[in-house]
Amino acid sequence: MRTVNIYRLVIITALTVSFMSCERDFPIDLKQNEPQMIVEAYINNELPYYNYVILGRSQGYYEEGFENIPVTGANVTITEGTLGANNTYIWDQGTRKQLREGRLRQFGNVLLPGVYFDNTLATNPNNALKGTPGKHYLLEIEAEGKRYSSITSLLMPIRLDSLTSGFHYIDEDDDTTQLKARLTVHYKDPDTIGNTQLYYWRNQDTGEKFGWGGLNSNRFTPNTDELTNGQYMHLTHGNGFAIEDSVVYYMVNVERKVYNFWDSFNKARSNGGPFSTPVKLLNTIEGENVIGCFSGFSISTKTIIIK
């Protein structure tokens, strides 16, 4: 049976809590904040199985554990549209897709509570939800008596010219050593300022894990083009890859608000010190007591064998 590993925004809850030790005890009156709806949603142009919505609910400070509670039985839809005159959206109701919880053969027919797919994937994958570059997408959620919504856009993909491997080194791990190489991505940045990218890849380390969070990525190397607009780029990732490893690489072009959310998320995740400056997650979901992002991923893909 295939292992299913769906990435969840568990860390959002945990990021709100830190612990410090001191020599004296001080009474602290902590407010019992209302639980938040947590939304992780994606639409992309290449991978229908990677278009999904995860819904969870955070727990209060005094609850046991910090894991999110899956939100089941929600009404979730995604609708395609265009941007009309006066910057108003025109939604094509004929494209509206209902996303439901369910079982998919590709994931071992395991029911995934709180994870919503286009169930057409089970019967007619070629007709399942898939984004189109240049289009806009409306996410609507009705859950637990409340409504939430978000709009994202699929930009035009940035063409990957090539991938190369090099900068070899010996990776020493306990009693073993292994020759590894680093991956360099070659592409031309569009000559319009404001482009932002995220980078993901699948290789032997990811195995059969599913979801964008199941892929490997260099979360410390997102890219903006303020200083490199229109230039030809040679981006070398610091991650090491084993020789003869097969790497499927995804360069994801995203609008700025999606980039800002994931950038704030990654900064918050790495902000572990008690004296660190708190980081605010830059939410893109509309509604009451909600945090998360509807991410429009415009993907370019290439594969390389590491040499």
Alpha helices in the chain (DSSP H): 10-14, 120-123, 256-269
pLDDT digits (tens, 9 = 90+) for 114-135: 999 999 998 898 899 999 999 9
More confident residue, 207 or 283: 283
* Res 291: pLDDT: 94
* Res 221: pLDDT: 52
**What's the whole-number mean pLDDT along residues 201-207?**
82
Query: Mean pLDDT lowest for which of 140-149, 230-239, 280-289, 297-306?
Result: 230-239
* Res 132: pLDDT: 98
Classified as helix, coil or strand, 307 is coil
**What's the whole-number mean pLDDT along residues 20-43?**
66
DSSP label at 191?
A: S
Confidence of residue 277 (pLDDT cuts 50, 70, 90): low
Cβ contacts of 248 within 8 Å, gap of 6 or more: 201, 202, 203, 301, 302, 303
Dihedral pair phi/psi, residue 213, rounded to 5°: -75, -15
| 197 has pLDDT over 60 | yes
The pTM of the full predicted model, rounded to 2 decimals, is: 0.84
Nearest to 128 by CA among 45, 192, 23, 24: 45
> What are the residue boundaries of the structural domains of the chain, listed by start?
10-305
Neighbours of 189 (CB within 10 A): 18
Confidence of residue 233 (pLDDT cuts 50, 70, 90): confident
Amino acid present at 201: W
pLDDT digits (tens, 9 = 90+) for 138-161: 999 999 999 999 999 999 999 999
| 296 has pLDDT over 70 | yes
Amino acid present at 259: Y
Side by side, the strands of the sheet bearing 232-242 are 160-173, 176-188, 232-242
| 30 has pLDDT over 60 | no
| 35 has pLDDT over 70 | yes
∠ CA 251-256-258, nearest 5°, is 70
* Distance (Å, whole) CA 76 – CA 148: 10
Query: Mean pLDDT lowest for which of 3-7, 29-33, 82-86?
Result: 3-7
